[in-house]
């Protein structure tokens, strides 16, 4: 099954089966196949460069930059989830930056306390407001004045914040399994997983742990998908995989009272109305409900809402037809002006 483009209404949401066609996606000779587990390859071109800059409070932060700065197309900025890092976007960024028809520069951020960014001694700085300011500082440092934004989970909340303080940086927006209403069940699931996840002894064990935790929500993923999934989560520390984020980040989740409704941010969503919007929802997601997806599509005048069948929170953007969908969405958004 393929995907069809048409605007969504509250009762009519585009449905997509994201086929796990990794081999097909990487068969293009223009795409360099690399191992995203290794942040500093020395014997081959990884397809990106590491970029370090200072946050407004002086903390050293990291981003990956894919593609040539001389590309004339509007760049893409990728913002990962709460405990995730730039490796989540590696395969997608390679495709977008090396796509022959319209290659784009891609900037992928590690938030403070994640990936190669420095840990913050003040764990309460692990919040959307501070992280949005960090991203805005990173845009200035990398010379990005306007971009297509992709926000997965936490990244989508950061986009909502940027929409209020500096909406002029947006060309178009992709929200990956996140919206103005966060379901308590989904947040509880994330907190439980992060707090109770076993520590793997090796990468094979890491893959098995991720399959056990997320397999029911992602039945369409292949063995290769699961390996890539695990490689993005863990870094190597003295021969053992370790989750690539500051453990103090878990204190942020403990601060949430899941017995109370999580405040909706529809007032922030309104700031995104002026930009083409693509919303992706995992068909098995517990964080973004079908009802919220439909309401977002109803409120936004230029929105494509897509349900990715066979995946949960959050869909892997490099799988199936999603890379081509995203590339096409950016091309069309750019052609509108």
pLDDT in tens, 110-158: 999 999 999 999 999 999 999 999 999 999 999 999 999 999 999 999 9
Tell me whether residue 242 is in a domain.
Answer: no
Residue 30 pLDDT > 50: no
- Confirm if 92 and 148 have CB atoms less than 8 A apart: no
- Other CB atoms closer than 10 Å to residue 251's CB: what's the count? 12
CA 332/CA 309 separation, integer angstroms:
24
pLDDT of residue 8: 42
**Phi (first) and psi of residue 60, to 5 degrees:** -80, 120
Does residue 272 have a pLDDT over 60?
yes
Question: 32 pLDDT band (50/70/90 cuts)?
Answer: very low
Residue 118 falls inside a structural domain: yes
pLDDT digits (tens, 9 = 90+) for 47-81: 999 999 999 999 999 999 999 877 789 999 999 99
Residue 172 lies in a domain: yes
User: pLDDT > 70: what percent of the chain?
Assistant: 86
**Residue 2 domain-assigned (yes or no):** no
Q: How many independent structural domains does the chain possess?
A: 1
What's the pLDDT tens digit per position in 291-319?
999 999 999 999 999 999 999 999 999 99
Query: In the predicted model, what is the mean pLDDT of residues 170-197?
Result: 94
pLDDT of 258: 74
Task: Tell me whether the omega of the peptide bond preceding residue 314 falls within 30 degrees of 0, making it cis.
Answer: yes
- Structural domain that includes position 73: 14-186+264-335
Tokens for 195? Answer: 């707090």
Predicted model pTM: 0.88
Q: Is the pLDDT of residue 93 over 90?
A: yes
The reply to whether 290 falls in a domain is: yes
Burial (0-12, 13-18, 19+ Cβ within 10 Å), 264: middle
Q: What is the pLDDT of residue 260?
A: 82
Higher pLDDT, residue 189 or 279: 279
Q: Name the residue with higher pLDDT: 20 or 323.
A: 323
Strand 106-110 to 60-66 pairing: antiparallel
Instruction: Please give the pLDDT value at position 26.
Output: 32
CA distance 290 to 38: 37
Please provide the average confidence, as pLDDT, over all residues in the chain.
87
Which CATH number fits the domain that encloses residue 149? 3.40.50.1820
How far is the C-alpha of 214 from the C-alpha of 193, rounded, in Å? 9
Q: What is the pLDDT of residue 44?
A: 53
Average pLDDT of the segment spanning 1-10: 38
Q: For residue 209, what pLDDT is reported?
A: 96
Judged against a pLDDT cut of 50, whether residue 228 lies above it is answered with: yes
Q: Is residue 54 part of a domain?
A: yes
Region 34-38 average pLDDT: 35
- Please give the pLDDT value at position 120: 98
Confidence class of residue 253 from pLDDT cuts 50, 70 and 90? confident
Q: How far apart are CA 326 and CA 331, in angstroms?
A: 9
Confidence of residue 46 (pLDDT cuts 50, 70, 90): confident
Cβ contacts of 104 within 8 Å, gap of 6 or more: 67, 71, 73, 74, 75, 76, 96, 97, 148, 330
Per residue in 200-210, pLDDT (tens digit) is 999 999 999 99
Give the pLDDT score at 22: 37
- The token duo for 155 is 């990244």
Structure confidence at residue 3 as a pLDDT band (50, 70, 90): very low
pLDDT at 5: 41
| pLDDT > 90 in the chain, percent | 77
Residue 100: the pLDDT is 56
Answer whether residue 221 is part of any domain. no
Calpha distance 219→315 (Å, rounded) = 12
- What residues contact 36, with CB distance under 8 A and at least 6 apart? 87, 90, 91, 228, 231, 232
Residue 145 in any domain: the answer is yes
3-state secondary structure 174-199: EEECCCCCCCHHHHHHHHHHHHHCCC
Q: What pLDDT score does 229 carry?
A: 96
């Amino acid at each position: 099954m393929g995907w069809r483009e048409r605007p969504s209404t509250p009762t009519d949401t585009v449905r997509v089966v994201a086929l796990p066609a990794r081999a097909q996606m990487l068969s293009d000779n223009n795409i360099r196949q690399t191992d995203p587990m290794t942040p500093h390859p020395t014997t081959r071109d990884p397809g990106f460069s590491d970029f370090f800059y200072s946050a407004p409070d002086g903390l050293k932060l990291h981003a990956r930059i894919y593609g040539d700065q001389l590309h004339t197309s509007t760049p893409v900025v990728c913002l990962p989830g709460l405990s995730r890092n730039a490796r989540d976007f590696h395969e997608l960024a390679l495709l977008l930056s090396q796509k022959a028809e319209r290659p784009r520069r891609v900037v992928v951020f590690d938030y403070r306390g994640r990936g190669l960014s420095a840990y913050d001694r003040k764990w309460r700085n692990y919040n959307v407001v501070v992280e949005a300011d960090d991203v805005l500082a990173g845009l200035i440092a990398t010379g990005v004045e306007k971009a297509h934004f992709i926000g997965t989970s936490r990244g989508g909340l950061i986009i909502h914040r940027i929409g209020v303080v500096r909406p002029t940086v947006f060309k178009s927006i992709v929200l990956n399994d996140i919206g103005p209403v966060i379901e308590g069940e989904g947040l509880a699931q994330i907190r439980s997983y992060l707090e109770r996840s076993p520590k793997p002894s090796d990468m094979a064990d890491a893959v098995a742990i991720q399959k056990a935790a997320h397999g029911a929500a992602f039945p369409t993923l292949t063995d290769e998908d699961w390996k890539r999934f695990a490689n993005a989560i863990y870094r190597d520390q003295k021969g053992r995989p370790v989750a690539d984020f500051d453990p103090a980040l878990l204190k942020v989740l403990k601060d949430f009272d899941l017995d109370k409704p999580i405040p909706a941010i529809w007032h922030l969503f309104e700031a995104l109305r002026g930009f083409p919007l693509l919303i992706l929802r995992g068909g098995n997601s517990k964080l973004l409900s079908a009802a919220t997806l439909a309401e977002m599509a109803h409120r936004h005048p230029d929105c494509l809402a897509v349900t990715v069948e066979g995946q949960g929170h959050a869909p892997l953007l490099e799988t199936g037809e999603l890379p081509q969908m995203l590339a096409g969405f950016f091309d069309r958004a750019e052609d509108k002006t």
